[in-house]
Amino acid sequence: MKVFLLFPLLLLLLSGILETPEAANILGLVSTAEHNNPGWSQPLFDALLAKGHQLVLVSTAPAPAKTVEGLVYIHLPNDYDLMQKHFIRSDTGHYQEMRTLMQLLVWYEVQLGSCRAVMESDTMQSRKSELLMSLSLFDLIITDITHGMDCLLDLVGDASYKPILGLSAGKLTPDLLDLLNSENTINPAKIPHFISPMPRKMGFFNRFHNHNMFYSSPLVRWHIIRPALSTIVRPDNVYPNLQLALLNTHPSIDYVQNLPPGVVEVAGLHIKPEVQPLPNSIQKFADQFIDGIVYIDLPYIELMYGVGVDAMYKMMEDNPNCGFIWNVKKMKELPKTMWNLLTLHVDRSLKQDILGQSGVKGYINHADSFDIQEAVHFGVPMVVLPLILEEFNNAQRVMERSLGVVVSANGFNLDSLTVALKRILDEDIFTTSLYTAQQKFRTRLVSAIDLAVWHAEQLIAEPTLYLNLAQRETNAQNFFVAQSLDVLAIPLFLIIVVLVNFLQIGYYLYQGFCKSGKPVKELNLDVKPLKKRKKVQGNGSKIGEPANITLLEDSSDFQDVQDAEAELSIDEESKTLIDKKDD
């Protein structure tokens, strides 16, 4: 009987768990520039469309090749060129290095430059009224907040009453934590700054530099960026209050981060679940080489002081048994023809198909986060040439985990790539480390895309579900209270008092020791022997003269005594004469 009573209850519970949310209206906003790969979140939007949701997507990513049911796509251009603006010399056209603190300013300048490029474009001006009418009545807003903001949110207006899901292609930053109203869980003494090449184990000077990076960020953001940003958009609108953030990181590649509950890691979101067979022309080329294929994606190799392309040619000539597939999509000039070189215009889908082949033995790139994740996912050793912003941090992680070889722009020469490629082809430590990292990266309870879709649908079904995941009231505390400096001041004060007392006691003991240890004046022992005392002849001793005295004529110790007795004798004689006169 009990079994029959429990069966309907079990069905009810299962129906609640397996219930699929109703189709929702979702707004997607992506305004990032090309160097941030604005199309990385497209798999999430495709998965939501496949679940039956309606989507309006305003993005700077390329438009889809074909019409998709349920999708309204609005493309906006973003021609902001980070490399051209900050990292290319105007006189020579070569790459110019920049100190890490200066790159911090560049990181925040990207917000202004990218925002201005989108909001002041001709397309925006012509379609702004259309956009304002379209961007309303949504159940969920998904926005790219890689740089801590999204200018397109200014078109939505007051979005505080709508649940907002943030997507970040970078690492956990203080700006992202501010959007979540979450406690800052980043410890500058342990966590390297997200655009710095600091090692995982930092020494004193590393930690000093790291603290400067983290504590300079809010000063730059509040006193430089926000005032300038207010001339383009309304800052209160473009810095949203997020309920949840999806972060493109994973501990097998990045350093371990102290994530608050409102942050979920979805590294590999852009990677296809299955690779496709290569086109016949590419597969035929790859089958010719017994040492395998090396895939090259270095769009800025031409900037390397006039020797970058020649270094590539030398690397290919020195490895005739390797085939090289070179993505020349962003290059100004096509490379020369070589028998072991295949040049292609490769999109991200085809690139993953190439890296997924077992014959690929190396991957040369600029240490972009997406490139590193793809290399780890497919188990391909890397040669990385970092040039901008977070690429230096990524390259440091690659070197620490032996996932590949780092080539520095400082000192780059014709042999740099040849030596690096030889290492990843010959040394077993890289393939061993890649295998371990690959297993950790791929082994998950659910895939990154399924996890992202699940959280998005939960946010649609219950908009307030994630509001209690952050202690918002703690953000109102000042720095001294938040770091418990007021509490720590009490034992510090007691320690200082005790220390001062010990120092004072020590000072007194030292003074006493100095006085007691003063040397005694030595007596003159070289004196003549004492003469025998002679009796005085006559009427006896004079008035005021001692009756019995031992004389030490040559001793200075008795001279003062004799002088005092002489003065006393004179005083006595004077007193006797005065008494006689009075009589």
In a domain, 159, yes or no: yes
Of the chain, the percentage scoring pLDDT greater than 70 comes to 82
Task: Using DSSP, state whether 265 is helix, strand or coil.
Answer: strand
Q: In this predicted model, what pLDDT tens digit does every residue of 404-457 receive, in sequence order?
A: 999 999 889 999 999 999 999 999 999 999 999 999 999 998 999 999 999 999
Q: Is residue 177 part of a domain?
A: yes
What pLDDT, in 10s, does the model give residues 266-305? 999 999 989 999 999 999 999 999 999 999 999 999 999 9
When pLDDT is averaged across residues 305-310 and rounded to a whole number, the result is 92
Query: Is 7 inside a domain boundary?
Result: no
Q: Is residue 523 part of a domain?
A: no
Residues 425 and 458 both lie in one domain: no
Same domain, 157 and 252: yes
Residues 435 and 454 in one domain: no
Percent pLDDT > 90 in the chain is 41
Boundaries of domain holding 547 = 534-583
- The whole-model pTM stands at 0.79
Mean pLDDT of the chain: 83
Pairing of the two strands 244-247 and 164-168:
parallel
Owner of token pair 């590649």: 253
Burial 515-549 (b: 16+ CB within 10 A, else e): eeeeeeeeeeeeeeeeeeeeeeeeeeeeebeeeee
**Shared domain check, 507 and 389:** no
| Sheet strand arrangement including 293-296 | 341-344, 323-327, 293-296, 360-365, 382-384, 404-406
Q: How much is the average pLDDT of 77-101?
A: 89
CB 372 within 8 A of CB 351: no
524 in any annotated domain: no
In a domain, 242, yes or no: yes
Q: How many domains does the chain have?
A: 4
Main-chain phi, psi angles of 571, to 5 degrees: -65, -40
Q: Are residues 240 and 285 in the same domain?
A: no
Domain match, 414 and 290 both: yes
- Look at residue 5 in the predicted model and tell me its pLDDT: 42
Closest CA to 364 of 413, 324, 317: 324
Confidence of residue 537 (pLDDT cuts 50, 70, 90): low
User: Both 373 and 390 in a single domain?
Assistant: yes
For the domain that residue 341 is a member of, what is the CATH number? 3.40.50.2000
Query: Are 368 and 405 members of one domain?
Result: yes
- Residue-wise pLDDT tens digits, 155-196: 887 766 788 999 999 899 999 988 888 888 888 988 999 999
Spatial contact of 459 and 244, defined as CB atoms under 8 Å apart: yes
| pLDDT tier at 375, thresholds 50, 70, 90 | very high
Is the same domain home to 154 and 302?
Answer: no
Crossing angle of helices 42-50/448-461, nearest 10°?
Answer: 60
Would you say residue 485 lies in a domain?
A: yes
Please identify which residue in the block is written with the tokens 């852009």.
270
* Residue 201 located in a structural domain: no
Specify whether 253 is located in the same domain as 113: yes
Q: Which pLDDT score, from 0 to 100, does residue 471 have?
A: 61
**Phi first, then psi: what are they for 303, rounded to 5°?**
-85, -5
Same domain, 498 and 360: no
Q: Give the pLDDT confidence of 491-531 residue by residue, as tens digits.
A: 888 999 899 998 888 888 888 888 776 555 554 555 555 55
The DSSP letter of residue 536 is P
Q: Please determine, for residue 16, whether its predicted confidence score (pLDDT) is greater than 80.
A: no
**Residues 348 and 322 placed together within one structural domain of the fold:** yes
- Rounded CA-CA distance 223/281 in Å is 56
More confidently predicted of 560 and 167: 167
pLDDT in tens, 22-41: 788 999 999 988 877 888 99
Residue 367: pLDDT band with limits 50, 70, 90: very high
